[in-house]
Amino acid sequence: MSRLRPLWPALAWLGLIFLGSSLPLGGPHLFTGIDKVAHFAEYAILAALAVLGLGAARAGGLFLRVLAAVPIMALVAAADELHQAWIPGRCPDMLDGAADLAGILAGSAIVLAVMLARKRGPRAG
């Protein structure tokens, strides 16, 4: 269980995402245009927390672990979209899923790039 400790923030954030998508929506949607930005942001944060957790675990081959984690996060995002078919006022949306995937890729890439740059240290000259 202590090996999962660095991933607790990512798992907690995932729980918040799932809780939010489990709430029924009623009436007109006020944030139709911003919806994709919200999906992008929530999954970018999830990916960043996951990559930071993987880095904190000090397991070898961080890049390979992130490469393996991205499809897992994409499957979780797809499952979250599908489960909305059973929530009143919600429905699965492929464009939401695309925004989720874009956020996963962006969040993972940004944090991984920062971690690798820090590992190299400042350049002389």
pLDDT (mean) for 78-91:
91
103 pLDDT exceeds 90? yes
pLDDT (mean) for 59-83:
86
Structure confidence at residue 124 (pLDDT): 54
95-122 as b/e, with b when 16 or more CB fall inside 10 Å? ebbebbbebbbbbbbebbeebeeeeeee
Residue bearing the bigger pLDDT, 89 or 3 = 89
Rg (CA), the chain: 16
Which of 24-28, 46-50, 78-82 shows the lowest mean pLDDT across its residues? 24-28
At which residue do the structure tokens 């944060």 appear?
45
pLDDT digits (tens, 9 = 90+) for 7-40: 899 999 999 999 999 988 755 555 566 889 999 9
- The overall average pLDDT reported for the chain is 85
Domains in the chain: boundaries: 35-125
